[in-house]
Each structure stands twice: as C-alpha cells, then as structure tokens.
Amino acid sequence: MFKKILIANRGEIALRVICACKELGIPTVAVYSEADRNSLHVRFADEAVCIGPPRSADSYLNVASIISAAEITGAEAIHPGYGFLAESSYFAGVCEASNLIFIGPRPEVISLMGDKNRARARMRELGLAILPGSEVITSEEEALREAECIGYPVIVKASAGGGGRGMRIVNSAADLPHLLRTAQNEAAASFSTPDVYIEKYVASPRHIEFQVLGDQHGRVVHLGERECTIQRRHQKLVEESPSTQIDAETRERVGHQIVVALQEIGYTGAGTIELLMDERRNLYFLEMNTRIQVEHPVTEMVTSLDLVKHQIRIAAGGHVPFESETIGLRGHSIECRICAEHPVTFAPSAGKITVFHEPGGTGVRVDTAAYAESVIPPYYDSLIAKLIVHGKDRPEAIRRMSRALEMFIIEGISTSIPVQQKIMADLDFQAGNFDTHFLSRFTRNGES
C-alpha cells in the first residue's frame, strides 16, 4: 500500500478521499489555492501545500505546482478526484514520467475514452450500440450532408467535451450553420479544441450509467446502474440507483457487454459508462468518464462497497475481490446535489454560509466540506454538499430524502434545495415517469 497520497482536488471530493485514506492508514497531502486556505480538506489532511492563487488555471490546473507539491512532500501517488485534472491524459502521463502513481487509468486509455468520436467508434467495434452519428465535422457543407443523412433533429457535440458545453440541438438545416459555429467556438473555449460531431437527437431520453471497476490483472466488474436523468443545463441534480427502467435481465446483458469491452481496452480503476435510453428503452453508448463520479455514493449505498478505497487498492496493484454476479443491489438510494444556486434561475450564489445544519438519522449521508461561516468562492463549481439517502425501496428513499431536505438548513446563500423538494413531491417523479426535460416545469421560462 502507498505510504503517502496527494489529493489533486478540493472541496467534498478531496475530503472524501482523505476519509478513505485515513481508514486505510495512509497519510495524505492536500493542495489548495489561496481561496481555499480555510477549507476542511486542508484542515484534515496530514500535510497541506498552497499551489497558487484562486483561479483554477493558476492552482488546481497547474500541473507543475501539483507535481512539485508531491515531490517535496514525498507522496507516492496522486488521487485526482473528479473535475480539474481527473481526465487529463497529459497529467496522468506527467505523473508517470515523474515516478508518481496516478490513481486512475493509464494515459492512453484516458486519451481514447476522452475523445468521444474515438470512444464511440471503439465501443461500437466491441459490441455496444451507438446512436447514428458523424465523424469530426470539418466544414459546414459536411455538417449539412451528415445531418441530412442522419435526419433532423440532430445534436452537435464537442468531441472532447462534457457538462453540456459545446453542445447544440438543431431542428432544421436553416439553423445548422449558426449553431455549428456556436458549438465549435464554445468547444474551443472550454476544451482547447473546436472539434465537434453530429449525432441523432432523441427527443425524450433518459440518462443511464453503469459503474465499473477494473484492476491491473485483467478483471473488470460492473456494479449496476444509476439513473441520472434529472438534469439542468446537462448538469445532474438528482441521481438514484437502481433505475426504475432497468430490469435484472437488461442489467446483466448490458453490464456483461460493458465488462467485455473494457477488458478489451485494458481499463483499470473506477469509471462510468454513460448511456442514453430512448423512448423504446433502447440503450446507446454516449461516453465514458474515466474517474470517480460525483454520484458514486448511491452505488456505495446499494452495494455496501467503498469505491474510493477500491480505487486506491487497485492503483497499488490489488485485485478486485469479487465478480459482477456476486454484487447484489440492496434497496434504493437517491442523491441530491445541493448547489449554491438560485432554485429557479440556477444563477450562481457565491458568498458566506451563515447557518449550516446537516440532516441525520437512519439511512442519511452527507458528503460536504462546507460549514457555518465557510465561504463558497465564485471561482469553482457551485456544489455545496451531496445529500444521499438509502431506503428499503424507492418510495421509502423518496420519503427519506424529502425529510432530509426539509431538515437541511443553509443560510446566507441561495441553494437548490427548494427545487429538489418539489421534485421529490412530484407525482410523475414518484411514479418514475420523467426524461431529461423534466426539470423545465420548475424553472423560469421552462429552461432546463
């Protein structure tokens, strides 16, 4: 096992990794920007190193500073969390060249799965269904030809993208040139490449994802699926496991296809295969996230596994000690991402938290780095906390989440709690009848 791990992240995920390391008996090093000097991940790590000013580009994305922090503190491995450098093949390669273990897949696997076009092509070769789509678009004329062949509506997507950036829905040929340029410009600004492709647009989709673990000895397992359909602006707000739309036969069949494909590419570490479900419940590969997900706790709750500990053990050369078939999903779990945002417009709400009271009780978990008098800075993601509940079935989990949301008190800033309370009370949500446009009923001007 590692003698010391540096955590190249901040906030609740940095604190989550610290908790796992403490239970494994591994000392930790936190890195922090000047804006995070008083953060809990700095307090609870064994050592902490300031790596720059508040801007992410000058701190949490500063590869040289992070590598230097690891070297001066004697860390053997780096856990990237999620976001920032977690899916950077360049960073993983620099770690390797610096004799540091990157807790995640090999650089070439990150590179393959991080390029949506290459990933879609490779997964199709390995047996996963994908939506009709194009290669990287090189001209407006090519875009018009491909869209005509696929059939409108289509969606333009950034090849290296995620989180809804570099993405535009196109309903007609007249709209395509302008929306193509907009998507390319946004992709270039967000991901340093303007590459986009075109894909068939499903009007009423659901977002399903499978959690996987792969070790360095050739074993890959899946841990069932999560339902991540409740989104605003392509960002998830509520997640749950299992999905009401996936039966045992589908879980076994699709899970097996995913495991075989990832064994073929030599996948190691934790990861998530994201799938789109159409109105007929057909599942199509969308992309892979080669890291731990924000919503990993719902899988932990229904499997009783610690995914972060398994990530660390795998990176240290350990085996995944079970098969997919031996993992049963126990009960039902729901997660609400509590964000510092206006609950109607979703405008950011940075500032000082004046009152902070976490809910508790049976089946309730809160992952957070926030506290009373802490500050939500304007420089980073708006996530304050992840509220996770577990129940014997979905109705109990919904009731437990409703109760926990009511007892979660955060004052001084606006939060997403009011809209999440409305979601839990909604009869369609309770019945499992929703798609990715569901949230529009609760937002200003119907935007989601």
Per the DSSP assignment, residues forming a β-bridge with 417 are none
Report which residue type is found at 159: S
Catalytic residue of the set 232, 291, 365, 400: 291
Contacts of 43 (CB under 8 A, 6+ apart): none
Per the DSSP assignment, residues forming a β-bridge with 335 are 239, 388
Q: How many angstroms separate the CA atoms of 423 and 420, rounded?
A: 5
Q: How many angstroms separate the CA atoms of 215 and 88, rounded?
A: 20
Count the Cβ atoms, other than its own, within 10 Å of residue 330.
12
Q: Count Cα atoms within 13 angstroms, Cβ side, for 278.
A: 14
Whole-angstrom distance between the N-terminal and C-terminal Cα of the chain? 45
Active site residue 291: yes
Count the Cβ atoms, other than its own, within 10 Å of residue 125.
10
Cβ burial 194-213 (10 Å sphere, 16+ → b, else e): bbbbbbbbbeebbbbbbbbb
Q: Is 379 helix (H, G, I), strand (E, B) or coil?
A: coil
* Phi then psi dihedrals of residue 179, to 5 deg: -70, -30
- Residues classed as catalytic: 291
